[in-house]
Amino acid sequence: MSKGVWKIEDGEVRKAGLSHFVMMALFTGIGIVVGTFGSIAVPLGFVSAFWPGQAIQSVGSIWYGGWGGIAAFVFPIISNAISGSAALPVSLAYIPGNLAQGLIAGWAFRQFSADPRLVKASDWVNFTVWGVIVSNLIGAGWGSTVLTMFGLIAPDAHFTVFAGWFMGNAVASWILGVLMLKFVSPIVVKTKTFCKGYWA
């Protein structure tokens, strides 16, 4: 299988640096804005019917590896505080789910040599399966479980909240994620901050 954009060329040296930290901060900022908007725009109790923040999580790790993964669990804490959608203890409990949502797509694209520019059908399948479906199944499953553990929803409402969470994240993240990958990836993959590995 060709490594495509992930291949380290002969003599190519890639090191993590300040520019990667800057991109992590930038994605955190973008995530805060997008996540807050989603939480406020179409709220359904503790979930949102349209939360595009998950696209920032998946695309962030596809482009910037572990740096995107860090942004993926940091920005929801801040956006939840701004929107008032979750108290700090709940937001902290969300971290494992948000971290998973932020790393799965990045891992899959590197593991299966998928092109972030969505050139082939297999690239689309990789993003849809790993960046949207699997990521959001885990995120929604973890998030709804956290709400149940904190007593914020009744146990018999667990599945309903899970389903609403999954759909609200999945639809929005697929739409925004595809737009970002298809139209911005051609620029990103040519930059030094694009991570062929997980940190550089």
What's the CATH number where 20 sits? 1.10.1760.20
Q: Is residue 9 part of a domain?
A: no
Q: Is residue 180 part of a domain?
A: yes
Number of domains in the chain: 1
Rg (Cα) of the chain, in Å, rounded?
17
pLDDT tens per residue across all 200 residues of the chain: 568 999 998 889 999 999 999 999 999 999 999 989 887 876 777 777 778 899 999 999 999 999 999 999 999 999 999 998 899 999 999 999 999 999 999 999 999 999 999 999 999 999 999 999 999 999 999 999 999 999 999 999 999 999 999 998 999 999 999 999 999 999 999 999 999 999 99
pLDDT of residue 51: 85
pLDDT of residue 37: 87
Cβ-contact 105, 65 below 8 angstroms? no
Q: Smallest Cα–Cα separation from 168: which of 29, 61, 80, 38? A: 38
CB atoms within 10 A of CB 2: 8
Q: Is residue 7 part of a domain?
A: no
SS3 44: strand
pLDDT of residue 38: 81
Q: Is residue 105 part of a domain?
A: yes
Burial tier of 141 (Cβ tally within 10 Å: 0-12, 13-18, 19+): middle
Read off the tokens for 86.
């979750």
Q: Is residue 91 part of a domain?
A: yes
Q: Which domain holds residue 135?
A: 14-188
Q: Is residue 39 part of a domain?
A: yes
Query: Between helices 53-83 and 158-188, what is the axis angle to 10°?
Result: 120
Q: Is residue 168 part of a domain?
A: yes
Q: Is residue 143 part of a domain?
A: yes
